[in-house]
Structure 1
Amino acid sequence: MLINEKIKASEVELIGIDGEDMGIMSTKEALKIAKELKVDLICLSLTSSPPPCQLMPRQTAQKKQAKEKQALNKQEKGPKTKEIRVSATIEQHDYETKKRQAEKILRGGDWVQINVRLQRKESDAAKRIVAEFVQDLSHCAEKEKGIQTSGKQVSVVLKPC
């Protein structure tokens, strides 16, 4: 981020404190205006000519840059898969709570893996519960793959649609 005297361009496209366009002017004039208003002249992009510069306090520019960097990092990493565990003998109230949790996670942009732990011969009940989750969350999610039974659990991965 280029600030004040570090801007080497002879002319800049100046944007005021409130976002109003102040036109193209020399860098010296823009710096003079910035000093009068007791703010900094911050270069927003070096790719265009003349470069767009905005009048704003340095702290505001640093916070804005940090937020953009954080959003870019989150976008790079991609969605997380969060696991929700339930038993095959789950009661209706607990089911509703887990469903709300899954919906909240999906609306946040992350994926949800629903695991139903098996204890005896409960595989039919577990498949029914997983299918019910898929059906109840179909308005905000879709299956990544089918319902999978492996060993002592039945699971499904849901991604936001």
Structure 2
Amino acid sequence: MLKNEKIKAKEVQLTGVDGEDLGVVSTKDALAMAKELKVDLVCTSMMSSPPPCRLVRAGAAKEEAQQARKREKAPKVKEIRLTTGIEEHDYETKKQQAERILQSGDAVLLVVKVQGKEGARAKELLEELRRDLKASGTPATGIQVSGKQAAVQLNPLT
């Protein structure tokens, strides 16, 4: 994404601040217009001729680029491990940790280690966590009990 004087094309296809089409304009005129309105001239693509450019309020172009990068980035899946014999304080700590991860935009995989006949208790623990984290994330999978562990994945709210 090129801004202001870094745009080297002779002419640009200009779009105004409010989205109105201003047509094909020389780059000098577009830069003068941008300075007059106290906005940035942002080139969205150099692949066409003339390149499409927009007049964007100062700082908005940077925010927009950051939002686009966030949307492109696939969320990471972070795992939190628990045991069926977890105490109340430890449970709260793990819950807060999961909330922070979900609010940062990453998914959480909650895994409970199962020993012997604790499968039902592990499922109850995951259901409780899923209920407590309803405000921060949505379940991507059901509770899966297999072998020595039970797991559920929560995705962040969008």
Please state which band the TM-score falls in when normalised by the shorter chain: 0.5 to 0.7
* 1:9 alignment counterpart: 11
**Matched residue, 1:74:** 70
Q: 1:85 aligns with which of 81, 84, 98?
A: 81
Letter of the 1:157 partner, please give it.
Q
The aligned residue for residue 123 of structure 1 is 119
Amino acid at match of 1:124: A
Q: Which amino acid is 1:90 matched to?
A: I
Cα drift, residue 14 of structure 1: 8.9
8 Å Cα contact 2:77/2:107 also seen in 1: yes
Structure 2: gaps (5+ residues) = 35-39
Contact 2:102-2:156 at 8 Å conserved across structures:
yes
SS at match of 2:11: coil
> Does residue 106 in structure 1 map to residue 108 in structure 2?
no
How many residues in Structure 1 have an aligned counterpart in Structure 2? 147
* CA–CA separation in structure 2 for the residues paired with 1:75 and 1:146: 25
Provide closer, same or farther for how the CA distance between residues 120 and 42 of structure 1 changes in structure 2, counting only shifts above 3 A: same
Task: Specify the code of the residue in structure 1 equivalent to 2:109.
Answer: Q
Structure 1 residues 20-62: Cα deviation after superposition (integer angstroms, max 9, x where no partner): xxx9x8655676899xxxxxx8544468999545798xxx8xx
Moved more, 5-14 or 79-88: 5-14
| Cα pair distance change 1:10/1:64, threshold 3 Å | closer
Corresponding position of 2:153:
157
Partner residue, 1:64: 62
CA separation of 1:84/1:28 partners in 2, compared to 1, >3 Å: closer, same or farther? closer
Structure possessing the higher radius of gyration over alpha carbons: 1
Q: CA contact under 8 A between 2:41 and 2:53: conserved in structure 1?
A: no
Unmatched 5+ residue regions in structure 1?
16-22, 35-40
Cα 1:14/1:7, change in 2 over 3 Å: farther
CA contact (8 A) 1:44 1:54 kept: no
**Which aligned pairs between 1:28-39 and structure 2 lie closer than 5 A?**
28=28
Measured after TM superposition, the shift of residue 114 of structure 1 is 0.4
- Residues 65-113 of structure 1, C-alpha deviation per residue, up to 9 Å, x if partnerless? 9x81x54343223222111001111010000000011111112222111
Distance in 2 (CA, whole Å) between partners of 1:114 and 1:30 is 53
> 2:93 corresponds to which residue?
97
Deviation at 1:125, TM superposition (A): 1.6
